[in-house]
Amino acid sequence: MNKSMSSKMIKGIENLVLNILIYTYAAFSGILFVGLPLLKSWLRGEIKKFKDRSDVLENLYTQDPYYGKHKTLVIDGCTFHYVEAGNVNGPLVLFIHGFPEYWYSWRHQLEGLREMDYHLVAVDMRGYGGSYRPREVSEYNYDLLLGDIRGFIQELSPNGRAAGGVLSWQAAAQSWELDHADKSGYIERLIILNAPHTLVWRDNFIRRFLDLVRFGNLKSLVSNPRETVHHSWEHVKPCFQQFLMSFYISVFQLRYVAEKWMTCGDLRFLDFTIGKIPGGNVTTEDLEKYKATFSADNFSSVTGGLNYYRGNAIMGLYNEQKDRGVKQIGFVGIPTLVIWGEKDQALQMQMNLDNLGSYVSNLKIVSIPEAGHFVQQEVPEKVNDIIRKFITSKGNLHDLGENDTLY
């Protein structure tokens, strides 16, 4: 058997084992976290029990413009809703939300940063709120989603600063590559709030498990088994923690079932996500607005949000760069700030921040011990202060020492 055939066989076995693990875990988590709650809701008659929020919905996109002006923008024939504040002639700061959110999740930033000489824009992403909401998974390909972000920035400003999550990482990587190819990059600075660079997440998984089978560790296992097993477990424990935290990604692949799970009990999932945000910054009225948004048009925003996980939105650009032979896949060279709430219940801190510097050359990480996943809503004043100092700072972020803070 030649080397090429052997390599393909090993790769095939790895993929088979990985698929078995994924589908086994999906089935287990589907029964435990979806099947049982749905059965409970069915027995209680809650599957189709929803509150009428038409009065909230009517004013959702024409409400009192306290946080900014409500506007729409057409990109490639698709209409997008956004809210803007601050100086519309100033440098653009584009706020990009994740799931389950919409423009309103940035209300504290629109209010708290409006006195700056910047153009603040919080957008409803494709599939959400008042924007274009297709139900087909094919409408959520990474190239379309990044095209939406690029279109927003280029329509409102020659280039801008982006604040957001997984898609913001990819947009910045695309912008960096374009800037070096023909100077058409569209992002000058990047702010990430509790969101993984998925290549770093993947690399940390692989590296930690490979460390277990390195010769030095195997040798130590023979000479000092108890201590080696303890050390090995501590080394891979973050992987298992992240695996358990990410159960919902497997569940999200179950079309129709996932929608039922998310909407049952009058959108109970919002009670346990947005409704549980600590700090008293999410009121009952705020939660009603979220529920009105996600229940609109037969829950189209629920399906839209889930489709981000069902298509290639999470890894699409990186796979495409790999196919094209790009040397530094997913690399971001612009000044980048990562704000991380240490109490995140969806993302394990070590798995997402370790070795991040190998993909981001100009990086500053600010962790906030008391905050969790929705950091911009949990500690808005602190986040606003950090953002304010970052986007107005001069020079290279490496000038800041390891112990220097932005707040």
Residue 163 has pLDDT above 80, yes or no: yes
Q: Cα(373)–Cα(191) distance, rounded to whole angstroms?
A: 15
Q: What is the pLDDT of residues 198-213, one digit of tens each?
A: 999 999 988 888 888 7
pLDDT in tens, 260-271: 888 888 898 899
The whole-number pLDDT of residue 407 equals 42
For the ranges 20-24, 82-86, 159-163, 281-285, the one whose mean pLDDT is highest: 82-86
Give the integer Cα–Cα distance in Å for 126 and 288: 21
Q: Omega into 278 within 30° of 0, i.e. cis? A: no
Sign of the alpha-carbon dihedral angle for 242, 170, 253, 132: positive
Average pLDDT value over all residues in the chain:
86
H or E segment and range at residue 23: helix 3-29
Lowest mean pLDDT segment, chosen from 115-119, 254-258, 365-369, 387-391: 254-258
pTM, two decimal places: 0.87
Residue 403: which pLDDT band, with cuts at 50, 70 and 90? Answer: very low
How close are the terminal C-alpha atoms of the chain, in Å? 60
pLDDT in tens, 300-329: 999 999 999 998 999 999 999 999 999 999
Residue range 171-224, pLDDT digits in tens = 999 999 999 889 889 999 999 999 999 999 999 988 888 888 776 767 777 788
Of the candidates 217, 216, 248, 250, the one whose C-alpha atom is nearest the C-alpha of residue 232 is 217
Is the predicted pLDDT of residue 390 greater than 60, yes or no? Answer: yes
55-199+313-399: CATH, from 3.90.110.10, 1.10.510.10, 3.40.50.1820, 3.30.70.1060: 3.40.50.1820
* Domain-wise residue ranges, the chain: 55-199+313-399
